[in-house]
Amino acid sequence: SIAAVISGLGASLPERVVSNEDLAASLDTSDAWIRSRTGIVRRRMVEPGTSTGDLAVAAGRAALSSAGSSADFVLLATTPDQPCPATAPQVAHRLGLEGVPVLDVSAVCSGFGYALALARALVASGACSRPLVIGAETYTSIVNQLDRDTAVIFGDGAGAVLLHEGDSTEPGAIHALDLGSDGAGSGLIEIAAGGSRCPRTGGALSCEQRYFRMRGREVYGQAVRRMATSVRTVLARAGWSNQSIRAFIGHQANQRILDAVSDRLGVETNYRFGNIAEVGNTAAASIPLAMADTTARRLVRPGARTILMAFGGGLTWGSVALSW
């Protein structure tokens, strides 16, 4: 039967590497705390002047060239270059995709899962046949670099996949999805200012309002519970057992969260993939960046039963089952 199939993959990371020690030089934190609490060792940071859109273009170009194909829709999961307009139109223009329909997807760290789900639905409906799905973020520009609660966690980067309309037996075919949200937790992960509730034009804004903030401890338990439930749902929809998973890639929020979810689900250690140690939490970019890293290290056999799982602000979550 007809399926949306992943046929191209690309990534873009800024060159500048910021280690835990670099951060500890100016923040009340330590390499030992960051490693043991999050699994992060270093992250990438853009130079001033580089935008989220720049990273998105680089990752999108890499995905298109790896597939040797063009795209007829662009979905960009991101915290955008500016509140208005969307970032996707410029990204499509710079990729030479003139006139194609485009959309920014706003689901914080779950954005890539949501965008992939939308891309699959667009292919199934006949609205397009080769959607490009990009996750791109520059959290170092929205996080307060003096706030150790967030500054140690986030990094910059972008990843992208190109899909095509293919057959469900092909490697790369998406088999099942699970998406969800719980807006009761919307204040747990937020940038308070910049919209109608707290307008940029409304006078002096406090740091609390201007910067990205996360109530990490409160999010932690929810993340483990929601991710595990979502993966169980997507496995049931795909008709796969936990034991048949051969690649398990979660949003790289925190190694402890990923380990807890994998343990709950009984996923073997050698089938758990990710690169949080090297890039930190890159929000909507984290899953495609982890996929690119896993591919570069040739860790997955073609057709391997793969689960992608995301959780983030909103609150939102989403899981994807594909035979990668």
Binding interface with ligand ACO (CB under 6 A): 29, 33, 37-38, 108-109, 148-149, 152, 189, 214, 216-217, 219-220, 223, 253-254, 257, 281, 283, 311-313
Which C-beta is closer to ligand ACO: that of 306 or that of 316?
Answer: 316
Q: Closest CB to ligand ACO belongs to which residue?
A: 216
103: tokens are 């959309």
Which C-beta is closer to ligand ACO: that of 311 or that of 324?
Answer: 311
Cβ 257 to ligand ACO shortest distance, Å: 6
Residue at 237: amino acid letter? R
Measured CA to CA, the distance from residue 311 to residue 160 in angstroms comes to 18
Which C-beta is closer to ligand ACO: that of 29 or that of 106?
Answer: 29
Q: Which positions are catalytic?
A: 109, 251, 281
Which C-beta is closer to ligand ACO: that of 15 or that of 28?
Answer: 28
CB 176 within 8 A of CB 20: no
Cβ 182 to ligand ACO shortest distance, Å: 12
Which C-beta is closer to ligand ACO: that of 148 or that of 237?
Answer: 148
Cβ 314 to ligand ACO shortest distance, Å: 8
Cβ 29 to ligand ACO shortest distance, Å: 3
Which C-beta is closer to ligand ACO: that of 163 or that of 178?
Answer: 178
Cβ 75 to ligand ACO shortest distance, Å: 18
CB 173 within 8 A of CB 5: yes
Classify burial at 202, counting beta carbons within 10 Å of its beta carbon; exposed 0-12, middle 13-18, buried 19 or more.
exposed
Cβ 106 to ligand ACO shortest distance, Å: 12
